[in-house]
Amino acid sequence: MLQEVLHRYTAIRRPAAIPAAFEALLSIVEEVFPITVEDVQRAREILLGRQGISSREALHLAIMEAHEVSSILSFDRGFDGFPSVSRLGAL
């Protein structure tokens, strides 16, 4: 998710917002998972097995699977096609 913060705030040309966004995100999570080669290989399998999902979503899914995480806070509807994942969207 930290990569998503970097991606989004860079895309909308608001890099000054990155530190506050990192601080907010890190204050609500218990652990930040590393990305491993195995995660990227699993993301590849997910991408090759399903249409309509982005590479970033596939990587998130692979990492969630590796760490037995079943819910994600996201506005990305690509997660909705996975019954094992509960997407928590806008509250």
Q: Where are the domains of the chain?
A: 1-32, 35-91
Q: Give the SS3 label for residue 88.
A: strand
User: What percent of the residues of the chain are helix, what percent strand, and what percent coil, each to the nearest 5?
Assistant: 60, 5, 35
Give me the pLDDT at residue 18, please: 97
Higher-pLDDT residue of 9, 78: 9
CB 51 within 8 A of CB 77: no
Q: How far apart, in whole angstroms, are the C-alpha atoms of residue 57 and residue 39?
A: 12
Q: What is the pLDDT of residue 6?
A: 92
pTM: 0.80
pLDDT single digits (tens) 38-91: 999 999 999 999 888 889 899 999 999 999 999 988 878 888 888 889 988 754
